[in-house]
């Protein structure tokens, strides 16, 4: 009887070995398994676009004129006026510049409204026996026979949503795919090269 139990335990350990090895691996964080082109810093707390180096040029274009203004123009204002106006003007310009840089870094390093990707395409909905996929609007089909567009009822209004082949999902209204970041972005406006990030939600 003991021999049979050991045989079963040995069989189970062979079949469960892969599961146990998979469980033993440390879990991956979302930013480690990210399929987009984004760059992450500080353990995934900051998310930048793939062209984050352009942010350095933007910071230089902001900071260098302020340094020149504080070093050249402010002393001339101090000599031209007797009441320390040059020092106040330089202080205010430096404070506003620091404020602008903080807002620039917050805009560049935050999530612009990325819609998470699906790991597999959605299942085609039950469209009835009488209708055919060729009757769907758009005339072409997404992956796995999915229509490129479908009508969705949002707050009592019929809205046409498009299928994204890269993200494998039907995009919400006002959502668009950014070809630079390789993500679908909610309320997408544009990809800003000066910020190095998408401008969206």
User: And the tokens for 53?
Assistant: 């180096």
Model confidence at 200, pLDDT cuts 50, 70, 90, reads confident
Specify if 63 maps to a domain.
Answer: yes
* Model confidence pLDDT, tens digit, residues 58-76: 999 999 999 998 888 877 8
Does residue 19 belong to any structural domain of this protein?
no
**Residue 9 included in any domain:** no
The predicted pLDDT at position 17 comes to 53
Please state, in angstroms and rounded to a whole number, the distance separating the CA atoms of residues 74 and 14. 77
Asked if residue 113 has pLDDT above 90, the reply is no
What pLDDT does 167 receive?
86
Q: Does 178 map to a domain? A: yes
Q: Residues 69-84: what's their mean pLDDT?
A: 78
Number of domains in the chain: 1
pLDDT at res. 156: 86
pLDDT of residue 21: 56
Share of the chain above pLDDT 90, in %: 17
Q: Is residue 137 part of a domain?
A: no
Q: Which two tokens stand for residue 118?
A: 């699906």
Residues 171-199 have a mean pLDDT of 89
Domain span at 161: 38-118+148-200
Q: Are 104 and 65 in contact (CB under 8 A)?
A: no
Q: What is the pLDDT of residues 11-29, one digit of tens each?
A: 545 445 555 555 555 676 6
| Residues forming the active site | 192
CA-nearest of 109, 110, 112 to 198 is 112
- pLDDT confidence of residue 66: 92
Please check whether residue 12 lies inside any domain of the structure: no
Per-residue DSSP letter, 33: S
| More confident site: 1 or 98 | 98
Residue-level pLDDT at 58: 94
Does a structural domain hold residue 127? Answer: no
Residue 67 in tokens:
């340094």
pLDDT of residue 128: 35
Residue 56, in any domain of the structure: yes
pLDDT for residue 86 is more than 80: no
Contacts of 133 (CB under 8 A, 6+ apart): 124, 127, 141, 145, 147
């Amino acid at each position: 009887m003991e021999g049979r139990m050991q045989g079963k335990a040995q069989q189970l350990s062979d079949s469960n070995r892969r599961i146990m090895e998979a469980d033993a691996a440390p879990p991956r964080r979302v930013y480690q398994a990210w399929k987009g082109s984004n760059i992450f810093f500080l353990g995934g707390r900051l998310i930048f676009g793939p062209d984050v180096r352009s942010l350095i040029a933007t910071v230089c274009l902001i900071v260098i004129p302020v340094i020149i203004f504080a070093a050249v123009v402010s002393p001339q204002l101090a000599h031209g006026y007797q009441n320390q106006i040059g020092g106040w003007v330089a202080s205010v310009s430096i404070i506003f510049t620091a404020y602008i840089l903080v807002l620039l870094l917050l805009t560049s390093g935050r999530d612009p409204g990325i819609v998470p990707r699906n790991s597999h395409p959605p299942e085609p909905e039950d469209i009835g026996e009488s209708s055919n996929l060729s009757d769907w609007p758009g005339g072409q089909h997404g992956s796995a026979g999915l229509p490129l567009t479908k009508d969705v009822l949002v707050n009592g209004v019929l809205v046409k949503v498009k299928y994204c082949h890269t993200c494998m999902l039907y995009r919400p209204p006002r959502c668009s795919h950014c070809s630079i970041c390789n993500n679908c972005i909610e309320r997408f406006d544009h990809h800003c090269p000066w910020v190095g990030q998408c401008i969206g939600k």
